[in-house]
Amino acid sequence: MVVFLFYSPAMQNNTPSRDTFSGKFGIIAAAAGSAIGLGNIWRFPYVLGENGGGAFLLVYLLFVIMIGVPVMISELLIGRKAQLNVFGAFKKLAPGKPWYLIGVMGVGAAFLILAFYAVVAGWTLQYVYFSVTNALDGNTPAQMIQVFEGVQATKGWSVFWTLLFMIGTAYIVSSGIEKGIEKYTKILMPLLVLIILILDVRAVTLDGAMEGLNFLFNPDFSKLNSDVILEALGQAFFSLSIGMGVIVTYGSYIKKNESLGSTALSVSLADTLIAVLAGVAIFPAAFAFGMAPNQGPGLVFITLPNIFNQMTGGYIFGLLFFMLLSIAALTSSISLLEVVVAYFTEELKLRRKQATWIAAGIMSLLAILCAFSDSTFGAFDYISSNILLPVGGFLVVVFVGWIMEKNSPRLEIEADGRKARYYKGFQFVIKFLAPIAIALVFLNGLGWI
Ligand code: PFF
């Protein structure tokens, strides 16, 4: 999301006028804005649905706590210590060494992610349109599936809505009106949570909802295999926006007296809670309406409109839901585009407007490719979430655990003047547990060990 990255020439180097977040709520709202998006509400349920349900959830939660939170603390402390963007930060903390390549990899990941993200955001906009025109009213579950298949198959419209979304993202990033947006999202995101809660209540009171809750919360360990475990790791990275430098940049705007540990914890908790709440709306409904939980990327678009049809005020709830989801997607996509724009302006010395439209132009071409080809869509998604982000996260923890001067991570974490009682545990995790776990899951998932 929004506040953060935003460019003023002073942000390029370590000048006294460097912007900082105004306070605790600002930081959490901003970081959570990047983290909370389609990843929670669209990607989490469909990946969970394809990977066996409850057992996936358990592994996912384990990874968020064991790997996600420590990686996020590491990225925050790198950013705050260096007071620079991700490339500059690694160049400053490890001069003459190639660690800044983590940032370059992050730029690659941002291109791939935004390419398919924009297509899904385009679908979301189409569902806003359907909601306004009440086009889904009275549809049977089977018809809902047809509608979604139509959305995917009608390439012209898909491309139109995808480009509209990209233009919106690029416009905001190029003209620097993020601060205005942030003001609204502080109100709008809690509203999204409220609507999901209302949906949850309706979903779990549907006939046959129990089966869906069982699917989500009752782990069947026979479903676990190396692919499922790698998917859970990739989903944790994707959802928390870690492993590609976004959080390093946030860290650089956090004041010294703020606690990095509790920031990372709150953001991760909020992010995970929203994903689970989305699951609680989707799976009971899917089962109640006789739909398979492994529908793939259409799951949320197929399932939720059935609930809207079954509730009083469904028209307004449906409309609000898809509008707010579009905004959640926008605040995440801004952070993705910003990674590339920061690189283009600061490393390649392009002007900001130029950088934004060049980046958005290339991303739009990639997005059109994704709209036309399901396999390109799937490949971009897989490569970014399951390969680039975990490799990025691995390098980040190795950097903090083994490369930074011995005491400096601790000094940065404790710069708020409070003793970090968790530090010894954190150090163990980033030196050993997290890198070994990421490496094992990754190599095993790719079939290399
Ligand atoms: N975390 C975002 C979501 O869950 O929708 C997606 C995302 C944003 C991934 C920014 C990576 C990133 F750097």
Question: CA 292, 295, 299, 301 torsion: positive or negative?
Answer: negative
d(CA 236, CA 68): 7
The pLDDT of 141-150, averaged and rounded, is: 96
Summarised one tens digit per residue, pLDDT across range 40-74 is: 999 999 999 999 999 999 999 999 999 999 999 99
d(CA 200, CA 278): 8
* CB of 124 sitting under 6 A from ligand 1: no
Q: Given a cut of 60, is residue 77 above it in pLDDT?
A: yes
How many other C-beta atoms are found inside a 10 Å radius of the C-beta of residue 95? 9
The pLDDT of 445-449, averaged and rounded, is: 86
Q: 2-6+23-445 has which CATH code?
A: 1.20.1740
113 CA → ligand 1 middle, Å? 8
The pLDDT of 140-145, averaged and rounded, is: 96
Q: What is the model's pLDDT at position 323? A: 95
Q: What is the model's pLDDT at position 252? A: 86
* CB of 246 sitting under 6 A from ligand 1: yes
The pLDDT of 330-339, averaged and rounded, is: 92
Q: What is the model's pLDDT at position 20? A: 67
Which tokens in the block code for residue 35?
A: 């983290």
Residue 85: which pLDDT band, with cuts at 50, 70 and 90? confident
d(CA 35, CA 258): 19
The pLDDT of 1-21, averaged and rounded, is: 41
d(CA 388, CA 372): 23
Cβ atoms 264, 72 nearer than 8 A? yes
Closest protein CA for atom 7 of ligand 1: 241
245 CA: nearest ligand 1 atom: 13
Count helices and strands in the chain by DSSP H and E runs: 22, 0
Burial-class residue 348 by CB neighbours within 10 Å (0-12, 13-18, 19+).
exposed
Q: What is the model's pLDDT at position 31? A: 82
Q: Given a cut of 80, is residue 30 above it in pLDDT?
A: no
Closest protein CA for atom 13 of ligand 1: 241
* CB of 106 sitting under 6 A from ligand 1: no
Summarised one tens digit per residue, pLDDT across range 345-401 is: 888 899 999 999 999 999 999 999 999 999 999 999 999 999 999 999 999 999 999
The single-letter DSSP state of residue 68 is I
Residue 250: which pLDDT band, with cuts at 50, 70 and 90? confident
The pLDDT of 284-302, averaged and rounded, is: 95
* CB of 392 sitting under 6 A from ligand 1: no
241 CA → ligand 1 middle, Å? 4
Summarised one tens digit per residue, pLDDT across range 397-431 is: 999 999 999 899 999 999 999 999 999 999 999 99
User: How much of the chain, in percent, has pLDDT values that exceed 90?
Assistant: 81
Q: Given a cut of 80, is residue 104 above it in pLDDT?
A: yes
* CB of 40 sitting under 6 A from ligand 1: yes
Cβ atoms 393, 33 nearer than 8 A? no
* Residue, of 109 and 180, whose pLDDT is higher: 109
Closest protein CA for atom 4 of ligand 1: 39
User: How much of the chain, in percent, has pLDDT values that exceed 70?
Assistant: 93
Phi, psi dihedral angles at 411 (to 5 degrees): -60, -40
* CB of 345 sitting under 6 A from ligand 1: no
Helix (H) or strand (E) holding 334: helix 314-346
Residue 189: which pLDDT band, with cuts at 50, 70 and 90? confident
Which of 31-35, 111-115, 433-437 has the least mean pLDDT?
31-35
The pLDDT of 311-333, averaged and rounded, is: 94
Q: What is the model's pLDDT at position 23? A: 65
Q: Given a cut of 60, is residue 10 above it in pLDDT?
A: no
* CB of 35 sitting under 6 A from ligand 1: yes
Summarised one tens digit per residue, pLDDT across range 198-228 is: 999 999 999 999 999 999 999 999 999 999 9
Residue 25: which pLDDT band, with cuts at 50, 70 and 90? low
106 CA: nearest ligand 1 atom: 13
Average pLDDT, whole number, for the chain?
91
240 CA → ligand 1 middle, Å? 6
Q: What is the model's pLDDT at position 286? A: 96
Q: Given a cut of 80, is residue 39 above it in pLDDT?
A: yes
Summarised one tens digit per residue, pLDDT across range 174-184 is: 887 666 667 77
Q: Given a cut of 50, is residue 265 above it in pLDDT?
A: yes
E-state strands within 351-427: none
